[in-house]
């Protein structure tokens, strides 16, 4: 499912047009974003006793060095 999210401020202009545009596609649903605030506040713990672990998700580098390139 693909959601086409329309900001609430633009809904009067775009909602009807986008709904009509994607009417024939069963994999797309047009919705209006009605959130009033972010779910996660800056530094808000909201009762959690542990903090989120920030990890580096990149692959570790291969140990060693690259061989010299042949300058042709």
Q: Is pLDDT of 55 > 70?
A: yes
Is residue 53 very low, low, confident or very high in pLDDT (cuts 50, 70, 90)?
confident
Q: Is pLDDT of 29 > 60?
A: yes
Report the domain count for the chain.
1
Residue 62 resides in a domain: no
Q: Is pLDDT of 65 > 90?
A: no
Residue 61 resides in a domain: no
User: Across all residues in the chain, what is the average pLDDT?
Assistant: 84
The parent domain of residue 20 ranges over 2-33
Q: What is the pTM of this model?
A: 0.51
- Each as own residue / partner, the long-range contacts of residues 26-32 (CB below 8 Å, 24 or more positions apart, any chain) are 27/1, 27/2, 28/1, 28/2, 28/3, 28/4, 29/1, 29/2, 29/3, 29/4, 30/3, 30/4, 30/6, 31/3, 31/4, 31/5, 31/6, 32/5, 32/6, 32/7, 32/8
């Amino acid at each position: 499912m693909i959601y086409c999210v329309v900001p609430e401020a633009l809904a009067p202009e775009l909602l009807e047009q986008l709904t009509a545009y994607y009417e024939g596609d069963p994999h797309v649903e047009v919705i209006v974003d009605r959130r009033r605030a972010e779910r996660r506040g800056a530094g808000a713990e909201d009762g959690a006793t542990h903090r989120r672990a920030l990890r580096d998700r990149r692959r570790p580098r291969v140990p060693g060095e690259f061989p010299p390139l042949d300058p042709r």
